[in-house]
Amino acid sequence: MAYLNLNKDELVKLEYSLKKEILSTNRAGGYLSTTIILCNTRKYHGLMVLPIKEFDDENHVLLSSVDETIIQRGKLFNLGIHKFPGVGIYEPHGHKYITDFDYDPTPTIIYRVGGVILKKELLFVHNEEHFMIRYTLLDAHSPTRIRIKPFLAFRNIHKLSKANLYANTKYKKIVNGVKYKLYSGFPYLNMQLNKTNEFIASPDWYYNIEYLQELNRGYEFQEDLFIPGYFEVPIKKGESVIFSASTLEINPVGLTRKFEAELKRRPPKDTFESCLKNAAHQFLVQREKTTEIVAGYPWFGRWGRDTFISLPGITLCTGDLKSCKQVLDTMSHELKGGLFPNIGKNSNAAFNSVDAPLWFFWSLQMYAKALGNNKTVWDDYGKKMKQILENYRKGLEFNIKMHDNGLIWQGEHGRALTWMDAVVEGKPVTPRSGYAVEINALWYNAVCYTLKLAKEFGDSNFVKGWKDIPELTKKSFSEVFWFDEKQYLYDLVNNEISDKSVRPNQIFAVSLPFSPLEESQMRSVLIRVEKELLTPKGLRTLSPKSPNYHGRYEGNQAERDNAYHQGTAWPWLLGHFAEANLKVFGDDAVHLIENIINNFREEMTKYGLSTIPEIYDGDPPQHSRGAISQAWSVGEILRIYCMLKEYKKSKHL
């Protein structure tokens, strides 16, 4: 029995199948994503989505979907499905023919149409811009033909296509197929079959295809897609026909061999751990001489903060130290002054994250631990570490500066520089200008770690200039942040307020390798966080006791943004919650952490298959929300899994 078990009897029910999404990446920035019945419900869905260099490397949907029609004895059975205007209007009804779905090793659907049984396998070639579908006729009692109709979009993932007179609907013939380029700047999409076929050109637009997830999220949700025509070919029982879509013309002779070779490269998804590791690999993007981490699918790009937070789990917990170093090197080359780009690249880069550089130190600590070698880290990154600290000390834009008390002050009006960065109508939902608790916990950790390495490897000048800072920062941290009456940490302190909101940001003052707290304070923080913020799927971003608490993440963009950091539960925070508990409570924390892991086992078949989403509702039953696959969610749950396994091994539990 497959590990990723779905209820076969429910596959034909749209309320079941449309809520389950699949993702497969080519490890070079491209991906395919749709629902398990291949009905797109998001503008971000598509069978071939690629970064286009001519358009700032932003992702674009080239091939939206492919419909197949089985032809037997003059009767046509269309296996496709699309949503059109009207309540419950879906055409055609191909989902009714589905009898099975499997995700291991690659998305596979079985259709039964009368006496015909057809298997359809989707495959995105690793490190190439090449997508394939293999159709295998498992059974048939009379001559059978298959008609393959592609739906083209050629548009940015954040936009929608509309019928127009500017699209270039002309095609060029190639071996066993045709190629199209609807608009200038795009590459050609070469569509071919592995056997001789007939291509019937019948250019047309399909109007008002609807994406229900976009409707629910308050966005434009209707799209027109271009259909160039269709390929038609006979298929015999036991025979396989491969449809190929690529930015390069392919030799059809080698398609069968290539499909089999790619299939063998796919890692298994037969355990919870293997599912997490497979999901982790999907976030790594290698292009030219860079290695980056995509923050989440299907709509996030690379984020600096998310990169460093997710890096240890995504790479080190899979034993991939090489990729870890490559990501660190890629990001290090983009350091500007003391800041890393938070979003965007090159001229579009935004250096507006106060915490990304401080998370860099933590990822180095995790890398050094896995490497078992501090010397390599100091030799490779010591200069960058000192550069960041010196810039924070003397001051950066956005009022980022170390004050005389050894604490970091940051922020300016209208800016959201911490990870709680939602902005509605130009105003941060959680204004956090001043001394933010996690920023100063990260700062203390960064200074202590750098001093440790500087002392170990004889950098006397740095030691001389910084040796007094840790004690100063530690003293000020408790004086400024410790809420003695309630025995936890203020979330933010500035000239006007000491924010008493119970938020998860205080957890980092316990979990990080160097903590500015006493053990009794650590215990109090953990008790408070567990009592008010812990859910089965993540830590809430605000206590339900607060009048500003939002327990459900839903509605239009403004409504969702208002809930994003005001109660929504985030899985990634559990990594530091678990680490802090092991650090403080030891063996007594094992059962709690086992429960955290077990609570995510069921997620493998709930929302995004074989992965963990971005967020959950703060209120029970904690519905999955946001991006279907998030790097720091996967990375931190995987890190908890590895952390617990390592702890048990060391304690012989």
- Give the model's pLDDT for residue 556: 92
Is there a contact between 398 and 354 (Cβ–Cβ < 8 Å)? yes
**Is residue 105 included in any domain, yes or no?**
yes
User: Distance between CA atoms of 185 and 188, rounded to whole angstroms?
Assistant: 10
The verdict on 486 and 586 lying in the same domain is yes
Is there a contact between 570 and 539 (Cβ–Cβ < 8 Å)? yes
Domain end point (choices 265, 282, 303): 265
Binned at pLDDT 50, 70 and 90, residue 243 comes out as: very high
Strands (E), 88-221: 90-91, 98-102, 108-113, 116-124, 130-139, 144-156, 172-174, 177-180, 189-193, 198-210
- Give the model's pLDDT for residue 144: 97
CA atoms within 13 A on the CB side of 555: 13
Q: Looking at residues 436-440, what average pLDDT do you find?
A: 98
User: Distance between CA atoms of 173 and 190, rounded to whole angstroms?
Assistant: 9
Residue 263 has pLDDT above 60, yes or no: yes
Q: Looking at residues 532-547, what average pLDDT do you find?
A: 98
The verdict on 220 and 282 lying in the same domain is no
User: Distance between CA atoms of 139 and 159, rounded to whole angstroms?
Assistant: 41
Domain end point (choices 225, 248, 265): 265
CA angle 220, 221, 222 (to 5 degrees): 110
Backbone φ and ψ of 79, nearest 5°: -95, 0
- Report percent pLDDT > 70 for the chain: 100
The verdict on 408 and 357 lying in the same domain is yes
- Give the model's pLDDT for residue 214: 96
- Give the model's pLDDT for residue 652: 74
- Give the model's pLDDT for residue 248: 97
- Give the model's pLDDT for residue 409: 98
Domain end point (choices 234, 265, 296): 265
> Mean pLDDT across the chain, nearest whole number?
96
CA atoms within 13 A on the CB side of 427: 4
- Give the model's pLDDT for residue 93: 96
- Give the model's pLDDT for residue 412: 86
User: Helix 272-283 and helix 304-315: axis angle, to 10°?
Assistant: 140
Q: Looking at residues 149-162, what average pLDDT do you find?
A: 98
Residue 403: C-alpha distances to residues 392, 393, 408 (Å)? 10, 8, 6
- Give the model's pLDDT for residue 192: 98
SS3 of residue 300 by DSSP: coil
Provide the CATH number for the domain around residue 397.
Answer: 1.50.10.10
145 strand-pairing partners: 71, 234
Provide the CATH number for the domain around residue 202.
Answer: 2.70.98
Whether omega before 621 lies within 30 degrees of 0, making that bond cis, reads yes
**Is residue 372 included in any domain, yes or no?**
yes
Residue-level length of the chain: 653
Query: Comparing 133-137, 267-271, 354-358, 488-492, which segment has the lowest mean pLDDT?
Result: 267-271
Residue 581 has pLDDT above 90, yes or no: yes
Domain membership of residue 113 as a residue range: 8-265
Which is nearest to 67 in space by CA: 127, 165, 135? 135
The verdict on 471 and 426 lying in the same domain is yes
Binned at pLDDT 50, 70 and 90, residue 1 comes out as: low
Residue 155 has pLDDT above 90, yes or no: yes
Binned at pLDDT 50, 70 and 90, residue 56 comes out as: confident
Q: Looking at residues 474-499, what average pLDDT do you find?
A: 96
The verdict on 519 and 483 lying in the same domain is yes
Q: Looking at residues 413-437, what average pLDDT do you find?
A: 93
Buried (b) or exposed (e) across 54-73, using 16+ Cβ within 10 A?
eeebbbbbbbbbbbbbbbbe
**Is residue 2 included in any domain, yes or no?**
no
Domain count, the chain: 2
The verdict on 491 and 469 lying in the same domain is yes
